[in-house]
Structure 1
Amino acid sequence: MHEARPDPEERAALGRAARGRVPRKAHAEFEPPADRADPVEVLEGQSADRVPELVPIRYGRMLQSPFSFYRGAAALMAADLGTQPSTGIEAQLCGDAHLLNFGLFASPERHLVFDLNDFDETLPGPWEWDVKRLAVSLAVAGRENAFPAKRRRRVVRTAVQSYREAMRGFAGMRNLDVWYAHTDVERLRVLFAGRLDKRGRRRLSHALETARTRDHLQAFEKLTAVVDGTRRITSDPPLIVPLEELLADVGRAELEGRLRLLVERYGHTLAADRRHLLDQFRMVDAARKVVGVGSVGTRCWVVLMLGRDEDDPLLLQAKEAGPSVLAPYVHTSAYGNEGQRVVCGQRLMQAASDIFLGWERVTGIDGRQRDFYVRQLHDWKGSARPETMSPGQLQLFGELCGAALARAHARSGDRIAIASYLGGGDVFDRALAEFAEAYADRNEQDFRALAEAVHRGRVEARLA
């Protein structure tokens, strides 16, 4: 028998009580501690266990703009949020809920859905941390597009209002209804039907159709070629480097063997039917791949699998999973394997996850054990391009992100307590609009600090 759980009234009371600890207006404030760590030192600490020759690419990508820097600086913001008072109400966090970590992808039922899609940093923690990460990303993107401060604040307020109103809706729903909630293509069309002009509707349709074309077959054609009668991953150093270019014969054979073992053993973390499907494919090639901004330098492998014949491909991505940037500031992970942490957090937060999503721990040729999570490289994909958005379009996109984040938190946290804390007014919305501008200032200062470190030769940066 399970212990009796608090009833809805008691849970709502918990949310109201949290206002006494942290008034909603208090979220507007951001004052870094006097002993705040040097931002470059934090980034260097992250880079210490990464592939050395790839670390300069990470810094080069971060220095493209303050928004690019923000994408790679989740560890800095986690440290800053860890010094702030929290509501004490927890949910499963994405840990890096900036606007480019929301997008379109395929559900197992082959529906195009909109949701969070990056969980490298996921851990349980204060729900408001994710909301703040999203809010600041909108403010930073707005600055990059030269939007006036008043418009940026409106964009942020609307996104936070969307989160708040969605959470209040979820608070009144049954558990199963919350679990089954999702945003698919038709829901998107309904949401935006009366809010986009003709050009906007045309762009939305194009984005949806483009997402459907970005699948494993497109990736297969783009990333592979037939060499001497055998299908191989195409070299594009340093971004994609096949095994044969990384190591000499003996080392290459050993690494290939360990990757084969990773794929074989990771299959045991899948449901039986999906493991049966995976077993119908064989590994034929692998390559190291550079991904993202903040993840550059972590070990990431693209594995080419073939099924019935050479026209039946499966591309898997095995990505190294280290400790979450949130780990120093929240409870210890319930999982001993960092890949399992990522996978279980993703399954908890996403309405629908990749059928090949799993994890494994392997020993590298350097003798060190590392955790990985594995998924398909592409299974339909649509990402935002904030640099092309008008203020109204960014506002609509932020609204969509806010609602998706609320659904993810409602699945894992106490949706009634969170909704009660937020209330029906816009106090929290306005507070986060102020916070977002204050933290965007800090982000720009940290961006300049990294640029200065490169200028002085403290760290190396290059583009690739």
Structure 2
Amino acid sequence: MSEAAEDHLTPSPNPPVDVASWRQAANPRDRSRAGIAARAKAPLEAHAVWQVRSGRREAISLLEEQSAIRVPELVPLRYKRMSVSPFTFYRGTVLIMTNDLATTPVTGIPVQCVGDAHIGNFGIFRSPSARLVFDINDFDETAIGPWEWDLKRLAVSVEICGRANKLKERDRRDAVINCVETYRTRMKWFSEMDYLDAWYEHLDVEETLDRFENDGSSHSHVLREAAMKALLKDNDAAAAKLCHYEGGKLRFKSNPPELVPINQLDDYADVEALQARIDTLFESYRHSLYDDRRMVFDHLRYQDAARKVVGVGSVGQRAWTSIWIARDMDDPMMIQMKEATYSVLEHYCGASKYATHGERVVQGQKIIQSTADVLLGWSSFMAEDGRKRDYYVRQLWNGKGSIDIDNLNASGLNDLARMCAWALAHAHARTGDSIAIANYMGGTDEFDQSIASFAVSYAEQNEEDYAVFKGLLKSGELPCA
């Protein structure tokens, strides 16, 4: 690990939110006043301001800093995936944006932030009650931080997604405005509910899409199609796609570098030692589960494991996938183990209270998400290089459905932006002071317009940084697969 990477792990001594000092007042009136008072520190109109700067080589250096703690041979693949478009670049540059947001005014009202709340990190999955719900689905960066950083990350991603899909400027603006307005009005709604009622709220996919279609606010079939595909994306489908039957067991297919069985990994000299470490990982993971979930896991029998490359910004983080069976070969279970490193928020907002980054991710997901995977847990093990590595563990596919964001029309972007905003407001209402946040934003569209203006400016900043990034790839200063 480089000295720069080590330095970036150091928490900020002056975080923008201080959980210890932010005490929720005893009654709603005082909490409302506290939210309004926060405007003195961060006026509503101040959120509109971002000065675009060209040629920011130092911003790209932050990416290199992250890459110093990732699997070296996968870094070129990460850069390749990020280089496809300004939008894929944005998905991999949460550290750059967080570094920029740290220079902007903040309200000081803390929540459990998602950390990387862009539009691609929301999706569909099956709840334990077998209903499809829509919610946040990526928690690698979750930590305590300012609520508005999540909202700005989301709003900018809506603008950039609209640009990538060649939507008109007016349609992009409408989508961003509708996104922020939904967040503001839903937060007000949550703030007026009994807390436990707000906690139990969730976004049922079929009910929401029916409502969109019945009230005439949607003419997009993209979300409906995603929901139908999610119903088919289960453990049986994952096993059929990624595994084959060999020697009386289910074994992973080989498709390097995206999927490599552990017995074919060239960078691990002792496969038996690697298997022993994976066994240790699962034993540690088992103890992170509640007894009822542990009983489910204890019914499974291990078959095989592989290294699996995932995502865009996550490429280079160590991720393993394992195949298990319950009743028999026709009852498979696919479990993912993904490395958890420091959150980008920790340097700016202070260190996590949890002992490991795996636990940080899992506990953050449990309090943010309306209904979490029953097999969600965490683990750590000592790697071949002698470093302790943290992991979080979950099902690979449990009705997970991603939205085809590359083909959204204006209506589809509006629908998705509103659903993302609903889910984000719910997450922040569960984990922060919804009354203070709602009263900070107020009842007019002034805050909405400010965030929409910021989204345009920061989308332009993203394009400037993307141009620098592409230039460094072309010159060979950055490696590309």
Q: For the superposition of Structure 1 and Structure 2, which TM-score range results when normalised by the shorter chain?
A: over 0.9
Note if contact 1:155-1:398 (Cα within 8 Å) is conserved in structure 2. Answer: yes
- What are structure 2's unaligned runs of at least 5 residues? 1-22
Question: Which residue is 2:31 aligned to?
Answer: 11
Quote how far apart the aligned CAs of 1:185 are. 2.7
Task: Tell me whether 1:137 sits opposite 2:137 in the alignment.
Answer: no
Local SS of the residue matching 1:109 = coil
Task: Tell me whether 1:457 sits opposite 2:476 in the alignment.
Answer: yes
Quote how far apart the aligned CAs of 1:312 are. 1.7
> Which of these residues, 246, 249, 252, is aligned with residue 227 of structure 1?
246
Q: 1:452 to 1:205 in 2, by over 3 A?
A: closer
Task: Tell me whether 1:440 sits opposite 2:459 in the alignment.
Answer: yes
Q: What amino acid sits opposite 1:266 in the alignment?
A: Y
Distance 2:269 2:56 in 1: 47
Aligned positions of 1:44-59 closer than 5 A: 44-59=64-79
Note if contact 1:40-1:453 (Cα within 8 Å) is conserved in structure 2. Answer: no
Note if contact 2:159-2:459 (Cα within 8 Å) is conserved in structure 1. Answer: yes
Q: What amino acid sits opposite 1:258 in the alignment?
A: R
Aligned positions of 1:400-411 closer than 5 A: 400-411=419-430
Quote how far apart the aligned CAs of 1:283 are. 1.6
Task: Tell me whether 1:397 sits opposite 2:430 in the alignment.
Answer: no
Distance 1:241 1:280 in 2: 26
Distance 2:219 2:432 in 1: 39
Task: Tell me whether 1:387 sits opposite 2:427 in the alignment.
Answer: no
Q: 1:4 to 1:123 in 2, by over 3 A?
A: closer
Question: Which residue is 2:10 aligned to?
Answer: none
Aligned positions of 1:343-382 closer than 5 A: 343-382=362-401
Q: CA-to-partner distance for each residue in 1:189-241, whole Å, 9 max, x for gaps?
A: 3431235589635x544322211101111001000001244320111000000
Distance 2:58 2:174 in 1: 32
Distance 1:333 1:229 in 2: 44
Task: Tell me whether 1:338 sits opposite 2:370 in the alignment.
Answer: no
Distance 1:29 1:249 in 2: 49
Quote how far apart the aligned CAs of 1:33 are. 8.7
Quote how far apart the aligned CAs of 1:72 are. 0.5
Local SS of the residue matching 1:314 = strand
Local SS of the residue matching 2:478 = coil
Local SS of the residue matching 1:384 = coil
- What are structure 1's unaligned runs of at least 5 residues? none
Aligned positions of 1:423-438 closer than 5 A: 423-438=442-457
Note if contact 1:112-1:185 (Cα within 8 Å) is conserved in structure 2. Answer: yes
Note if contact 1:39-1:449 (Cα within 8 Å) is conserved in structure 2. Answer: no
Question: Which residue is 1:317 aligned to?
Answer: 336
TM-score, with structure 1 as normaliser:
0.95
Distance 1:58 1:35 in 2: 22
Alignment: residue pair count: 459
Question: Which residue is 1:283 aligned to?
Answer: 302
Question: Which residue is 1:305 aligned to?
Answer: 324
Q: What amino acid sits opposite 1:436 in the alignment?
A: A
Question: Which residue is 1:96 aligned to?
Answer: 116
Matched-pair identity in % = 45
Task: Tell me whether 1:243 sits opposite 2:252 in the alignment.
Answer: no
Task: Tell me whether 1:173 sits opposite 2:205 in the alignment.
Answer: no
Note if contact 1:185-1:208 (Cα within 8 Å) is conserved in structure 2. Answer: yes
Task: Tell me whether 1:261 sits opposite 2:287 in the alignment.
Answer: no
Q: What amino acid sits opposite 1:104 in the alignment?
A: I
Give RMSD over aligned pairs: 1.9
Aligned positions of 1:77-96 closer than 5 A: 77-96=97-116
Larger CA deviation: 237-246 vs 327-336 = 327-336
TM-score, with structure 2 as normaliser:
0.92
> Which of these residues, 154, 158, 162, is aligned with residue 178 of structure 2?
158
Q: CA-to-partner distance for each residue in 1:317-348, whole Å, 9 max, x for gaps?
A: 00000000111110221112000000011001
Distance 1:414 1:361 in 2: 33
Distance 2:447 2:117 in 1: 18
Question: Which residue is 2:9 aligned to?
Answer: none
Local SS of the residue matching 1:383 = coil
Note if contact 1:347-1:353 (Cα within 8 Å) is conserved in structure 2. Answer: yes
Distance 1:421 1:34 in 2: 33
Q: What amino acid sits opposite 1:420 in the alignment?
A: N
Distance 1:103 1:165 in 2: 21
Distance 2:52 2:220 in 1: 40
Quote how far apart the aligned CAs of 1:186 are. 3.6
Quote how far apart the aligned CAs of 1:377 are. 0.4
> Which of these residues, 83, 88, 103, is aligned with residue 68 of structure 1?
88
Quote how far apart the aligned CAs of 1:267 are. 1.0
Distance 1:228 1:309 in 2: 15
Local SS of the residue matching 2:299 = coil
Distance 1:108 1:450 in 2: 42
